[in-house]
Structures are given as structure tokens and as C-alpha cells.
Chains A and B, each alone.
Chain A
Amino acid sequence: MLAATAGFINSVGGVNGDNPTEITRSDVDAVVRTLLNNNAYTIMDNIEGEDKFGTAPVRDAYFALCSTQLTGNLDAVAGFIQKNQYPAPMNALRSEWGAIGNLRFLISSIGSFTANASSNGANVFNIFCVGMEAYACIEQDGYSASFIYRPPIYDGPLALNASVGYKFAEVPRITNDLWVINLRATLA
């Protein structure tokens, strides 16, 4: 839903010669600036600095949802803080990779990308930068999804075949389009 509807900004600060380019600090700053100008609330509180070697305080942040393919590129962005460098790493989420400015990046192996959509025909990765309550899922029938398994005993007298199926009764919805931006980027 976010890939279909959310407005996007191309990364343009990189040097890979493509459009969009690889993600850079200036692109992150542009997204944060836009979300701030649109009065989007950050989702995560700041992590206060502590007197520990190799750590750095983390700003209050919006979430950036993206593909695991981007991890190396994120590492290379100026100002990137690995989650093991947080003053309190236990405050990081399991899927979190790190933070840049006011964005904390959550990664997934099924993160969104648009195939062959760059100027050079490369895959374009969609990084959904979202503020608090930017989108929601509405459960329409008292549940979100059901995975239904019927053991073979329900199949027939000989109990030969099991069946599985699923059904959804929910719909995602952007609640405020100003609070979600798709930052598009290619790999370096």
C-alpha cells in the first residue's frame, strides 16, 4: 500500500551515476526536514548519551522501513550509528540496523523494491520514512487474518487430505499523506 500510494523523493546526493542514486546524508536530511515541516511526530524517543566507549546518543526518530539489501549502503552514510553503538542497545528493536540523524532504519528481507526502475535499469529500493500514526491497518471483521488448517480427518472417510488456507479482513490506509515519504535509492 505504501509502495502504491505514498509520495516519493529520489536520492540525488550519491555518485553512482544513476537516478535515483545511492542513499546519502543529504537525502536523509531532506526527508527529515520534510517530515519536520509537515509536523510529523517522531515515533521513538531519544536515547540519552552515556559515558561508554564507542557509543553516541541517538536522536528521537522517525522509522525508515527498508530492505536488507541496503545495509551496506547505510553503513557508508555519513553519521550512521550502528545499533551496537547506541548507549543502551537493548532499546533497539530486533529488526533495527542503526540510525542516521532522525531516522532509525528497520530492515526486512522482504523489504520493498521496484524492479529495474532506475535510469540505468537497476532495482530501486523503497525506504518508507514514517512518522507516528502515518498509516494504520483497519481490521474489518474483528480479526486481521486467519490461517486455517483442516486436518485430514475432515477430508473424508479415509482421512487422506489435509487443507490449509488463509483469509484477510483488514485494509491498510495512509492516515496522513504528509507523514510518510518513500525515499527511493539504488545500491552504490
Chain B
Amino acid sequence: MDGTIIGQGSFVVPATVVNQYIKIPSGVDWMKVLNYTNAAKVGGATGLGVSYYWQRGMAPGTGVVNYYGNATAVMSGDTLVSGGFTLYDPSGQTAGALPLIGNAVATTASTNAVRPVVSTASTAGIVVGSVVRMSNTAQTDVNGIDMVVGAVTTNVSFTLLTATNPLANVPGVVGGAGFYRIVNTSELFYPRRRVVVNITNAVTPTVSTSIAHGMTPGQEIRFSIPTLVIGNPGMIQLNGLSAIVLSVTDDYNFVINIDTSAFNTFVWPTVAQQPSSFPLMVPFGEDTATSLSTPASQVPTIGGIQINGTQSGILADATVNTGFLGMVLGTGGVGTVAGALAISGPAGTAAADVVYWVAGKSSYGGL
């Protein structure tokens, strides 16, 4: 019948099992996933998920699963409590989809360090590389700023920022109780403005951002360094200047062409300097000669994966909408019946698993 849309695809599980984001431009009413690798195995210590099914009307994160139990070739059925299927819509307009930002979770303390360690009784949903947004802590210069998580101790603490992009200086006080929220989506459009947490004093300095920047060599950026009315003003000589990205060190660092050797030392605004604006880098164009000199690097990536919708090559700096409709395949969890026995999710069980999926948009019917 006209109006029915069916799509299909496959993926290979990377070295670490992580959530898989499947693009389904038409939207999706139902989805089946088959772990081709697991289908040829018998059970292990963990329930090996083989086939999964989700249909609109089922709760986010859930799904029906068929799996091999402990060392048995007998197939069992169950429903996933979490780690199953979740709709993805970064515009925030789909009911039941992955929320743009998670619920507030209480924290008990944050250390006064360039990589604050945040204590909390629940780290659910946080992995290294997640982005979190703090609020209501005494560290008012950290609150409200999206920061990548560099380390996690399950249900004890997590560390803001990574070893390569710490704050230029400590926030100024120990953070007391507060909240964190997991930020699930970035701004829709690329290239994106980013908060700068440090800039070195060097002939070709390194710029560090609080979350992944996605820049490519040759892109031009302009700095906005706030005028701090109290205390050390920081690297104000850089305010308003434009720079060319010479090279990308990693997801959180890149090298620019402005000699900052004689500039003031960069300062991350401290608690004593709040309220304030924050140091920014704003992308605005591209230096073609630099881009042409590094053709192999002209792919905007985060975590080694090209940002959706972005251009490669000389147009890597093009303004594009990175959003897409789709499904988040989870990594699994406990089943309703299986209880403590964890069942692997539709995102796969182990590296190199081959997973097939088929998804559809129905033409009639309801929930």
C-alpha cells in the first residue's frame, strides 16, 4: 500500500560496544534487529541477544528480545527494561524520543581542580565521552557549561574534561551539592561555536575546547575573550582576532596560527569573577590555501566518525544541518524475566559482531 516505507541496513560493532545511531529519514514505526554473529553461537555468561523488535507504543529504551541464556542453545524470550530501542530526533519534536537533555541528577561535591571530579550516587547513562551540564553547585564558573566526561567511576563519581583539555586554572572553590544533566545532542548546525577552556602561550598555540569541536585544518575562527572586571583579565589581546586552524590534535584540541607568546596567560573565569561571559571560538570561514595543503584531513569528525551531513574536502567548513531522524540502538541491560542476567542489546554484544536491521513506516493502524 502506498505510504508504507521500509528500510534496511547493517553495521559491524566497533572495538567497544556503544550505542548505535541508525538514520531512518522517513521516521520509524517499527524496527527489527538481528545479530547475525550471535545467531550462530550458544549462550555464554551473558545473555546473547539474537533478535530484537520494537514498535511505536513501546516505552523508550525497551524492546522484545530473543536470546541465548547461560551456555545453552535454547532460545528464550524477554523484554528489555533498558538498553533497547529509543527514537532519535535532535529537533526535540518527537514524543518519547531521546531527550535533548536528561533529567537533573543530584551531585554531592566537586573538587577544585582543572578537571573537577564530581561525586554522585548515580552515573547512569554516563560513559567516557558523554557531555554533561552542571548546575546549582558552588562552582558557578563551571555551571551551565557543556563539558565532556573524561573518566567515570560507576555510581561514585565522574571527571569533567579529559587529560588533554583541562581548564586553564582551577574554578576557585570546591563545588558543594548540585546537579548534573546529560546532554544528548549538540546544536543542529555545523560548524559550531565552542567554549574555550585553555589556550597556550606559543608561536602556534593549542586551543582547547570544553566539548568536541569538529574543526578541520584551514577553517577560520574568531575569538571572543570576555573582559573580566575583577582580577586577572586573561588573554584579552586575543579578543576579536581571527585565526586559521593549522592542525587538529584531537577532538578537543587544535593548533592555530596566531603567535600568543607575548600575550597574557589565558584565564578561565573563576568563581570570584562571576557572573561573566566565557571565552569562545566562533567559526566563520576557511583559508583555502591551508585546506588544500591538508586534503586528507578535510573531514569534520568527532570520535573518528564524520559529523552527519557535513561536507568533505574543500567545502568541509560549509554550514549544514546535521540533524536526522532515526533510532538509537542500546547496549542492553536486564530483562523483565531474566532479572539479574544481563542481555546484550541491539547495538551488539562484542567487537566485530555483524548486525542487520530492517525498519518501517506503517501506512495505517495505531499504537
Contact = CB atoms under 8 A, between A and B. Distances in A.
Interface in A90-144: 115-121, 124
User: DSSP majority for the A interface?
Assistant: loop
Contacts of A18: 275
A1 interface: yes
Given A12-B276, A118-B143, A7 B224 contact: yes
Given A19-B276, A119-B274, A119-B275, A4 B188 contact: yes
Interface in B176-196: 179, 181, 187-193
Interface stretch (A41-49, A52-60, A72-80, A155-163): A155-163
Interface of A: 1, 3-12, 18-21, 115-121, 124, 154-156, 161, 163, 171-174, 176-178
B: interface residue count bin: 35 or more
A22 to B, nearest CB: 11
Given A118-B144, A161-B1, 15 more contacts: A4-B192, A5-B193, A5-B283, A7-B282, A8-B280, A12-B277, A19-B275, A119-B136, A119-B143, A119-B275, A120-B143, A121-B181, A154-B2, A172-B189, A177-B282
B320 interface: yes
Given A120-B143, A174-B284, A10 B278 contact: yes
A11 B276 CA distance: 8
Interface of B: 1-3, 100-101, 104, 133, 135-136, 140, 143-144, 179, 181, 187-193, 222, 224, 226, 274-278, 280, 282-284, 318-321, 363-364
Contacts of B101: 115-116
29 contacts: A1-B188, A4-B187, A5-B187, A5-B191, A5-B192, A5-B283, A6-B193, A7-B193, A7-B282, A8-B277, A9-B224, A10-B277, A11-B275, A12-B275, A12-B277, A19-B144, A19-B276, A115-B100, A116-B104, A116-B133, A116-B135, A117-B133, A119-B136, A119-B143, A161-B363, A171-B319, A172-B189, A177-B222, A177-B284
Give the 9 A-B residue pairs with the shortest CB-CB distance, closest first.
A121-B135, A4-B187, A19-B275, A119-B143, A4-B189, A177-B284, A7-B282, A10-B277, A1-B189
User: DSSP majority for the B interface?
Assistant: loop
Contacts of B179: 121
A152 B94 CA distance: 26
B187 A3 contact: yes
A21 B275 contact: yes
A176 B285 CA distance: 10
B143 to A, nearest CB: 4
Contacts of B224: 7-9
Contacts of A21: 275
Contacts of B100: 115
Nearest to B322: A4
B187 A171 contact: no
A1 B104 contact: no
